[in-house]
Amino acid sequence: MVEALKPAILYDIMTCDEAGIKLAAREKGIMLENINFAVTINMLGDIEEYSPVINRCQSKARRERASFLLEEKGSRVINAFEVETVCNNKTFTIPKFIRNGVKTVKTAYVPFAVEKEGEKLVYRAEDIRKVVEAIEFSFNYPLVVKPERGSRGRNVMLIQERKQLENVLKRWVRNLDSPSGLLVQGLVNKAFDLRMVVASYDGANHVCIASLARVPSSKEAFATNTALGAVPVGVSIPRKIENEAAKAAAAVSRKIGVLGVDAIPEANSETVEKVVEYARNLAPVHERVKRLKEYFSGSVRLPEEKFLEARGKMDEAFKEMFRTPEYVKLRNFLEEVLEDAEVYFIEVNSRPDFYINTRNCTGVDVSEAYVKCLEEML
């Protein structure tokens, strides 16, 4: 096992999140070593000199391999390999939710009926027919089709009728997001979704430390990730939702770590209309924030004083947005909706983004939770 502990942060692309973690660690007197996993050759079987390690690789495949290799060499990792494996594949996550009594949507795993020979897609029409009929037996239209390992809303599709479903099944082939199949889910009528950050400092107890609503500014924007342009709003959530978020995190992890839990509050058409109206009114104000967010994201490659200067400008733009009546009206309405909403938990993210939207909109710097996890491991 490791004798001389050298705490480190591992990444494949350095972002403002990792820079924020390093700053928070330094304030606690912890100097984190940088490990760029994208350019690191791992001698298999060696003893690792770094522990504990915060694994922040963006690539899910790299993140899984990094946690596995580090643990095999004796390191303690945030998040552990077994946690990464479950979180990175919804086919693994959803059954964990169901077994542990976490409310989630009806889901089916669909193995591929299509193969690729060169550039030609090959399938048997009878196989596609059987798959379609099986889906229609359990689900009503509209329904949702998504990759089992996808993220940031990529390739999530709303399916309205049989022909559209057939076309998707005939064209969806193996890739990194869907290496063996895809998922079909029942549709939950939504106006926004929730990202809750849950931390565990002992592996047994999980606590929700921040909650962010992600709100589209149009009804056509089916995916609500902020990476796709959704408006972030910090919200206070009822204790019952906090508890359910903690239960969802515990369903996939009994280790020290930090996780992002995603959920959809069910909404009727009137609520959807109001949320979209309020978000559309806020969108022009959010545009200036978006420009400064982009500038700040790029500043991570600059000297630290320039990074901190860009952070200050972005933070001030957020504060200006928070003071607008449009933001206040939207936040208050979202919190009102959450009081009585049925909430369905969708997935757990083992590498949540936090330093821009969550830190500003909720006032919680998740970097500090990562550092507290480190301190528990040292």
Residue 2 confidence (pLDDT) = 42
**Do 334 and 197 share a domain, yes or no?**
yes
**Do 200 and 310 share a domain, yes or no?**
yes
Q: Which CATH number does the domain housing residue 29 bear?
A: 3.40.50.20
Write the DSSP symbol of residue 263: E
**Do 209 and 164 share a domain, yes or no?**
no
The rounded distance, in Å, linking the Cα atoms of 160 and 91 is 23
- Domain contains 330: yes
Q: Which CATH number does the domain housing residue 274 bear?
A: 3.30.470.20
Burial of 90 (0-12, 13-18, 19+ CB in 10 A): buried
- Domain contains 182: yes
In 196-268, alpha helices (H): 239-252
For residue 52, cis peptide bond before it (omega within 30 degrees of 0): yes
Residue 41 confidence (pLDDT) = 79
Strand 193-200 and strand 257-265: pairing?
Answer: antiparallel
**Do 225 and 181 share a domain, yes or no?**
no
CA atoms within 13 A on the CB side of 121: 14
The rounded distance, in Å, linking the Cα atoms of 103 and 90 is 15
The rounded distance, in Å, linking the Cα atoms of 184 and 147 is 9
Domain boundary residue, one of 60, 87, 114: 87
Residue 153 confidence (pLDDT) = 66
Residue 220 confidence (pLDDT) = 62
- Domain contains 214: yes
Query: For residue 56, how far is the Cα from the chain centroid?
Result: 13
- What angle (nearest 5°) sits at the alpha carbon of residue 343, between those of residues 338 and 349? 110
Query: For residue 361, how far is the Cα from the chain centroid?
Result: 17
**Per-residue CA distances from 167 to 123, 160, 172, 187, 217 (Å):** 12, 12, 9, 19, 29
**Do 257 and 272 share a domain, yes or no?**
yes
In the chain, alpha helices (H): 16-27, 60-72, 81-87, 90-99, 125-138, 162-171, 239-252, 269-298, 304-322, 325-338, 357-362, 366-377
Number of domains in the chain: 3
CA atoms within 13 A on the CB side of 347: 25
**Per-residue CA distances from 282 to 192, 230, 331, 354 (Å):** 15, 11, 11, 21
Write the DSSP symbol of residue 291: H
User: What pLDDT digit, counting tens, does each position of 128-140 carry?
Assistant: 889 999 999 999 9
Residue 40 confidence (pLDDT) = 86
**Do 130 and 32 share a domain, yes or no?**
no
**Do 143 and 258 share a domain, yes or no?**
no
**Per-residue CA distances from 377 to 5, 200, 211, 305 (Å):** 10, 12, 26, 31
- Domain contains 92: no
Strand 77-78 and strand 53-55: pairing?
Answer: parallel
- Domain contains 51: yes
Domain boundary residue, one of 186, 216, 233: 186
**Do 301 and 278 share a domain, yes or no?**
yes
The rounded distance, in Å, linking the Cα atoms of 377 and 368 is 14
Kindly give the confidence (pLDDT) of every residue in the chain, 378 residues in length, as a single tens digit, with 9 standing for 90 and above.
445 679 999 999 999 999 999 999 999 999 999 999 999 878 777 777 899 999 999 999 999 999 999 999 999 999 999 999 999 999 999 999 999 999 999 999 998 777 767 777 777 788 888 999 999 999 999 999 998 886 666 778 999 999 999 998 888 777 666 678 889 999 999 999 999 999 999 999 999 999 999 998 776 655 455 544 689 999 999 999 999 999 999 999 999 999 999 999 999 999 999 999 999 999 999 999 999 999 999 999 999 999 999 999 999 999 999 999 999 999 999 999 999 999 999 999 999 999 999 999 999 999 999 999 999 998
Question: Residue 165 belongs to what domain range?
Answer: 106-186
**Do 149 and 197 share a domain, yes or no?**
no
For residue 225, cis peptide bond before it (omega within 30 degrees of 0): no
**Do 178 and 198 share a domain, yes or no?**
no
**Do 297 and 344 share a domain, yes or no?**
yes
Residue 224 confidence (pLDDT) = 52
Residue among 176, 178, 222, 193 nearest 168 (CA):
178
The rounded distance, in Å, linking the Cα atoms of 5 and 48 is 10
